[in-house]
Chain A
Amino acid sequence: MPQNSPHRLNVIGCLLVLVLQAGLAPHIAIMSVVPDLSMCFCIVIAMRTKPEAACIYAFFMGLFSDLIATGPLGASAIVFAVITYIVARLAPGMFCESYGGRVFTAIGAVIVGQILFAVVYSIIGTVDNVYYSLVMRVLPGAVYNALIVVVFSLLFRKSHGKTSSATSLKDRLPKI
């Protein structure tokens, strides 16, 4: 198999998730909370990709998500890029050596991502009351997206096996 096969898989996955985000996500909203499949997928990819590549994937996923949604163009792009970069940096760390650790990190990333959205939207003036947004949108959104990210993690675990393209912390440490 060629060496860039994981990237090809990632790109196909990104396209598939964008289609699902556009066609399915609005219909499976619960109490006005629409799942952010794109962000969840970016986080899962970030676990297995190098930070620079994950960041670029996330930027374009965010850009396309913005195009098919109703928010300002660029908001998701910046949030996705920041979140995935942080996750990709953390991925080889102690939290992500095990499957449980990766899921835990992914859920944390989803929560931080939702908070970042609230911050970005309040800066650009789309959200009037940050407190209400945290309670009414960030919290329910974090719960729903956390469930989605767990499902994606399971799917990716099966499709990619237990191997990761990201370098582990152990490999990065200087050999004494």
Chain B
Amino acid sequence: MSLVACCLCAVVLLTFWMREPETGALHSIRDKSTAITAPLLNAGAFITTPLRAMTSGFDSAHLSEDEYQQLISDNETLRSENVQLQEYQQENDRLSALLGLKDAYGLESTGARVISQSLDSWNRTITINKGSQAGLRAGMPVMNANGLIGQTESVGPDSSLVRLITDEQSAVGVFVQSNRVEGILTGSSDGTLYLRYVGVDSAVKVGDNIITSGAGGVYPKGITVGTVYSVDFQSTDIYQTIVVHPITKVDTYEEVLVVTGSEATVNPGDGTSGTGADSSAATGTATGTATAGE
């Protein structure tokens, strides 16, 4: 009898949870409980710091001599490219000023620290130590130094839950930098990123950079997401199977940037803005193809 009663209660709760909006009563209770558990997560992060440092050491201990030399070589190449890019940046600033254009990538952001990785095995999320008191809202893009990592899903006063782009409920409107082919980047259960809805007639190469298209209005245009890792399709396929290697890894505890606004495109959703290609659990699963215009 108790089993039947418990199952009925759970099914009723599940139904209400699935049907109510993000601002509903059950979601509000969840947000409050997230706020309550944030200090526990902070304490847990503090206590497990030595353990994580040890794990991190083990992770990097397997680096071979070849990989080490490759990293040194990459570093030198990147340094020289960086100098060149700085020159281009200055030139771009001068020309833009002449033309009176606004900086399309002038993002306003707030720094936050990751206090926890996923709270369960079924969702790829992180918890950060900034919330509504720092001006964060649900639906804001989250980046780190290299590129996009996700978007805020629920926001408490002092902490926020960020759903990563590698989660299978995430979808980001992107394009291939070299040829501007558009697609939707989705996560998967194993954390692999797939670039979907790219036709077999589009020339996508391994190593191409993938950047956000700005479609859907959640993620600003032009943020680096990853590089094409593999491209595969059969003659009978409509779309290519494109695996994207994320440019940034969120397995380590680090600082992130929450994009709170930009001069161009950032438009944080309030849980109902999933009309375009950018979405997550907060804004609904994306369907169809990206429709962003350049």
A interface vs B, CB < 8 Å?
Answer: 19, 22-29, 32-34, 36, 51-53, 55-56, 58-59, 62-63, 67-75, 77-78, 81-82, 85, 117, 121, 124, 126-129, 132-133, 135-137, 140-141
Known A-B contacts: A27-B47, A124-B14. Give 15 more (CB < 8 A).
Answer: A22-B40, A26-B127, A27-B45, A32-B124, A52-B2, A52-B3, A67-B33, A69-B123, A70-B163, A72-B17, A73-B26, A78-B6, A129-B168, A132-B188, A136-B189
Chain B 160-175, CB-CB to A under 8 Å as 1, else 0, gives 0101000011000000
With both beta carbons as reference points, the residue of chain B lying nearest to A145 in the complex is identified as B121
**16 A-B residue contacts at CB 8 Å?**
A26-B117, A27-B45, A29-B117, A32-B191, A36-B120, A55-B3, A59-B10, A67-B29, A70-B122, A74-B9, A74-B17, A78-B11, A81-B6, A81-B7, A82-B3, A129-B189
- Measured CB to CB, the residues of B under 8 A from A are 1-3, 6-7, 9-14, 16-18, 26, 29-30, 33-34, 37, 40-41, 43-45, 47-48, 51-52, 116-125, 127, 153, 161, 163, 168-169, 188-191
Asked if A68 meets B6 with Cβ closer than 8 Å, knowing A27-B48, A32-B118, A34-B119, the reply is no
A22 neighbours in B (Cβ, 8 Å): 37, 40-41, 44, 119
The total of interchain contacts (Cβ-Cβ below 8 angstroms) comes to 151
Cα distance, A120 to B67, chains bound together (Å): 43
**Nearest Cβ distance between residue B156 and chain A, in whole angstroms?**
12
CB–CB B122/A126 < 8 A: yes
CA distance A36 to B119 in the complex (A): 10
A contact residues around B168 at 8 Å (CB): 127-129
Contacts of A23 in B (CB 8 A): 37, 40-41, 43-44
**Interface contact B17-A26, CB-CB below 8 Å:** no
B119:A68 contact, CB within 8 angstroms = yes
* Contact (A28, B51) CB under 8 Å given A70-B161, A74-B11: yes
- Given A78-B10, A137-B189, answer yes or no on A24-B17 (Cβ-Cβ < 8 Å): no
Distance (whole angstroms) from the CB of B153 to the closest CB of chain A: 8
Among residues of A, the one whose C-beta sits closest to the C-beta of B13 is: A74
Complex formed: what's the CA distance from A19 to B37 in Å? 8
The answer to whether A24 and B10 have CB atoms under 8 Å apart is no
Nearest A residue (CB) for B44:
A23
> B172 to nearest A CB, angstroms?
16
Given A27-B52, A62-B10, A132-B190, CB of A73 within 8 Å of CB of B40: no
Which residue from chain B places its CB closest to the CB of A33 in the assembled complex? B121
Nearest-neighbour CB distance to chain A for B48, whole angstroms, equals 4
Alpha-carbon distance between A132 and B11 when the two chains are bound, in angstroms: 25
Q: Which residues of B contact A58 (CB under 8 A)?
A: 6
A74 to B119, CA, bound (A): 16
- CB nearest neighbor in A for B27: A73
Residue of A nearest to B8 (CB): A78
- Top-7 shortest CB links A-B: A23-B40, A74-B13, A78-B10, A74-B14, A23-B44, A59-B6, A27-B48
Q: Assuming A71-B122, A72-B14, A129-B188, is B117 touching A52 (CB within 8 A)?
A: no
Bound state CA distance, A132 and B124, in angstroms?
Answer: 15
B44/A26 in contact, CB under 8 A: yes
Is there contact, CB below 8 Å, between A36 and B188? no
